Structure 1
Amino acid sequence: MTWKKLLALLWMTILVVGMAWVGKEGYRAAVAYESAASESAQMMEAGRVAESRLKDLASTLTFGMVHNEIREKMELLHAREQLARTRAERSILLFGGIATLTLFSGLLLSPRMGTALLSLGALIALINGLITPILMVVVHQKVEYLGDVVLSFESKGILGSVEKLYYEGNLPVAGIILLFSVLLPAAKTLTLLFVSLYETRPFAAKLVRLFKHLGKWSMLDVFVVALLLVFLTSRGTDVSRAEAEIGIYFFLVYVILSVAASLAAERMLRQVRRK
């Protein structure tokens, strides 16, 4: 093996390990943000808000002798929530930067090494996109004498949504999402990685063509989630808040790297045919 190939392998390893580590940190930050936001929502339920109002009144009447621990806990939760959100945003920006380096490196390396690198990067992004929350929806309402209270809170990722739909009995919808956003993308990415190892085999070109045709349907549920987000955030009311979480950006990185991996695989197979 030449020194150029060794340097290329070392650079590929650095990129892959970097994406995996930053993706893990982004997932942990997103889960911490989801947990803090969920606890904050619970503290904003009607019963808790009423209790907090009563403690404020008691504190005023007793000149501060009664402490409102609910308000103090809310302030701590908001601080946790903001910290976790900042960590998640930084992680996804760093992940996007490493993914950009991976994209350009995959296009500049030899077709075989580029296909392997882009496939590994796409696989890491896909895994993070599947397990990380993608959408948070909070429904709240103004209540007389209480102010703003939370009626419901929900934050789900792709796998969480599939699980919820399954247990609610929506088997066809759960099956469609599982097929087009989990199984097919995973199969396509693993196939491209496999093809990069066995590019001279006759079945390699057929597999690449097959998943090239099927790949355009693999992100159907992401478009549905995006439409839902636009619908919720464009109504202009103060009774709901929809927020895209970093899982959807992991999916965006997966889509870009997956397309690039397919192009690199086609270039690799053309090179094999010319030999």
Structure 2
Amino acid sequence: MKKQILYMILTLLLTAMVFFGLKAYTQAKAYEEATASLVSHMSAKKLAEFQLKELAETFSLGFYENDKKKNLAKLRAEQEIHKKKSQEYALYFILLLLGILGSYFLISLRAFTFFGSLGALVTLVFGLITPIMMVTIHKEVEYLGDVVLSFESKGVIGSIAKLFESGDAVVAIVILLFSVLIPAVKTLSLLFVSLFMESRFAHGIVKFFKMIGKWSMVDVFVVATFLVYLTANKGDVSRAEVEVGLYFFLAYVIVSMLVSLSADKMLHRLKG
């Protein structure tokens, strides 16, 4: 009875993770859209129009009001709200994930490997689809101020597609392999091991991933290289901002390593 209650609680934690993950993703996309809308008002042409309206407001002695100033202030307020909410929901997601990891001391290794694998899979999905980096190339122009030359905000999946489209197939394939395919196969394999640990394939799967375990941090390295690649565009100044998708992805790397150790220990005990 006690085990059933624990399993029910862990199922609820996973469900809540999906809920808050979707909330964080939605808010991250809304933040991306609000930023893109704000950036659209920071081209040389738009800033010139803004400066002219500012002059008109100054010389009109209060008879003319620059409505664009209010619109920009509203956009900035919305942008900040979406940013804070995406971070807040991501924090709730991580706390729930820590709750699942804490079950290690309460349930069997097999059950922990099962629920841990599901938690890792959910975390990986949100890590791949949620924006991970926002990059703007801007230049300070006299009389106009800070002019934005280009703006990018992408998640791993969207960026891989764009790299293929732009002809950077090698970079795209490397990121696809180490940040999508291998993590997905590894997580699904650990889930298989937890369900069919008596299978002769289970030991081979864990042994294989244990053998390549030293390459686990390649996931992080590839993403770091990917972020550097994004910021290496031509321009006067690059401004890069990390988004919540990167936190999801890094959380996945840590959780998958812990679940791999759990699966290895589980099979070692079974063998002994």
Cα shift at 1:138 = 1.3
**Within 5 Å, which residues of 2 pair with 1:1-275?**
3-217=1-215, 220=218, 222-226=220-224, 239-274=237-272
How far is the alpha carbon of 1:228 from its aligned partner?
7.0
The one-letter code of the counterpart of 1:15 is: L
What displacement does 1:219 show? 5.2
Q: 1:74 to 1:246 in 2, by over 3 A?
A: same
Q: Is the 8 A contact 1:107 1:264 kept in 2?
A: no
Percent identity over paired residues: 48
Q: TM-score, normalised by structure 1?
A: 0.91
| Cα distance, 1:8 vs structure 2 | 2.0
SS in 2 for 1:151: strand
Instruction: Please report how far the alpha carbon of residue 118 of structure 1 lies from its aligned counterpart in structure 2 after TM superposition.
Output: 0.5
Matched residue type, 2:200: P
**2:56 and 2:64 in contact (8 A); partners too:** yes
How far 1:196 moved relative to its partner?
A: 0.6
The answer to whether the Cα contact below 8 Å between 1:184 and 1:215 also exists between their aligned partners in 2 is: no
Gap change, CA 1:183 and 1:50, over 3 Å in 2? same
User: Aligned Cα RMSD in Å?
Assistant: 2.2
**Runs of 5+ unmatched residues, structure 2:** none
* 1:98-154 Cα shifts (integer Å, max 9, x gaps): 111111113541011000011011001000000011111112111011111111111
* Equivalent residue letter for 2:192: F
**Alpha-carbon distance between aligned partners in 1 of 2:105 and 2:205, rounded to the nearest angstrom:** 21
- Retained in 1: the 8 A contact 2:110–2:263? yes
> Against the structure 1 CA distance between its residues 4 and 177, is the aligned structure 2 distance closer, same or farther, given a 3 Å change threshold?
same
2:109, 2:263 within 8 Å by CA — same for their partners in 1?
yes
Unaligned segments of structure 1, at least 5 residues: none
User: Which residue identity lines up with residue 68 of structure 2 in the other structure?
Assistant: I
Quick one: which amino acid aligns to residue 259 of structure 1?
M
CA drift of 1:225 comes to: 4.1
CA-to-partner distance for each residue in 1:142-168, whole Å, 9 max, x for gaps? 101111111111111111110111001
Aligned to 2:212, the other structure's residue is in SS state helix
TM superposition shift of 1:63:
2.7
* Per-residue deviation, 1:62: 2.4
Matched letter for residue 22 of structure 1: F
d(CA) in 2 for partners of 1:133, 1:114: 29
- Structure 2 length normalisation: TM-score? 0.92
Helix, strand or coil: the match of 1:32? helix
Checking the alignment, whether the CA contact within 8 Å between 1:180 and 1:219 is kept in structure 2 is: no
